Amino acid sequence: MKIVVLDGYTENPGDLSWAPLEALGEVTVYDRTSYEESPLIAERIGDAEIVVMNKTPISKTTLEKCPNVKMIAVLATGFNVVDLAAAKERGIPVCNVPNYGGYSVSQFTIALMLEACLHIGHHDRTVHEGKWQNSPDWCYWDYPLIELAGKTFGLLGCGRIGIHTAEAAKGLGMHVIAYNRSQSQAAKDLGVEFVDLDGLFARSDVLALQMPLADFNVGIINKENIAKMKDGVIILNNSRGQMVVEQDLADALNSGKVAFAGLDVVSTEPIRADNPLLKAKNCIITPHMSWGSQGSRQRIMDCTVNNIRAFLNGTPENVVNP
């Protein structure tokens, strides 16, 4: 069984082992192939029967050039870069990793919120630059310090990751409200209050985006919905960059309507030099790293190996194009 990994570097930059995958067949690993449609993708797949990928697109054209492909394993939860219909037409199951980063992603969300409220990185830099040494006072702060207890934490999306985030926010003394198309009993038992979209926008002091990308939420953070929010709202996004109209958010940051944005994702990745958020006030941007703890990536590896093993045993699991 020939297995090709098209873009393995972000999953395993050297601190994990491909050995469990290699036990299942003849494995070729490429660190990077292409994040855009390219003849190189089909060339590297060649006569492989199992394709393992994360962000390298698998199109109908690529599948037509690679008739030996029998399974596609996605090293992630999201699978929008795979032409599911074309794969299904050819009887190729596409299998993803539905749950691996709940704790890591929720932890990162809280870190972004705390940075917005305390500006720890900024104050560390000022100390190293000598400001504290030369201060006439024994302490100082350059931004208002925000206490979160009693404030309202809003979740746009309250699935597995959202529930972990809600639990952490409640631990800080916050009231948690959420909009989700389904309302899980686990979230209700935690004390999450489900609201409609307008209620979410109007009531949140902090609004976190933790929902998979879908047709209805593309561009949902736009000037019309930002106008419904509280003055001084904090917006956090480590879900999908396409949920934000970036010029609208930049305008709201520059006007002060939005006090702070903490973002781990943008609409086009890697980020482009002309992204308006790069020059917006009070906006921290990290490079889509909230999923990337070693523990999180090990779970991806384990699940992917299990997905391939199940396929080889004739009982594919986590199939997203049944």
Active site residues: 240, 269, 288
CA distances to 154, 155, 206, 261 from 55, rounded to whole Å, are 29, 26, 30, 25
How many CB atoms neighbour CB 215 within 10 A?
A: 5
CA distance 320 to 322: 6
How many CB atoms neighbour CB 169 within 10 A?
A: 25
> 102-118 and 160-171 helices cross at what angle (nearest 10)?
40
Is the CB of residue 113 less than 8 Å from the CB of residue 134? no
Q: Which residues contact 170 (CB under 8 A, 6 or more apart)?
A: 176, 190, 191
- H/E run at residue 20: helix 19-22
CA distance 176 to 157: 12
| 313 token code pair | 């045993």
Three-state DSSP class for 212? Answer: coil
- H/E run at residue 285: strand 283-285
User: What length does the chain have?
Assistant: 322
Is the CB of residue 168 less than 8 Å from the CB of residue 106? yes
Is the CB of residue 171 less than 8 Å from the CB of residue 114? no
CA distance 249 to 245: 6
DSSP character string of 96-112: ---SS-HHHHHHHHHHH
- Give the rounded distance of the alpha carbon of 260 from its chain centre: 19
